Amino acid sequence: MPGFLVTKRIRMEGFVVMDFYHRRREAEAALANWVEQGKIKPAIDVVEGFEKMPTALAGMFAGQNRGKLMVRV
C-alpha cells in the first residue's frame, strides 16, 4: 500500500475531531438537517428484549454494532 500512495502521488492526512470542537454546533445542525431531508440515514442497531441487554452491551464494547445501539423493551 505505501508504494501505491507514492506511485499515485496520493496524500494521506490524519483528522482529529477535537481540532474542530468549536464548530460542533454547526456540524450538529447540518447533520440533523440532512437526516430530516433523508440525505443521510443514521446507522441504528436494535436488539429486541430486555433480557438481551447484557449481551447487547458486551457486543457494543466488542465493536459488534454499526451505529447507535438500542434495546427495545
Residue 47 lies in a domain: yes
- Cβ neighbours around 65 below 10 Å, total: 17
| Domain annotation covers residue 25 | yes
Nearest to 52 by CA among 73, 35, 22: 73
Has residue 21 been placed in a domain? yes
What does the pLDDT look like over 50-59, one tens digit per residue? Answer: 999 999 999 9
Total of domains in the chain: 1
Q: What are the pLDDT digits (tens) for 11-52?
A: 888 989 999 999 999 999 999 999 999 999 999 999 999 999
Residue 30 belongs to some domain of the structure: yes
CA atoms within 13 A on the CB side of 62: 7
**Predicted structure pTM score:** 0.56
Q: Which domain, by its residues, includes 39?
A: 13-72
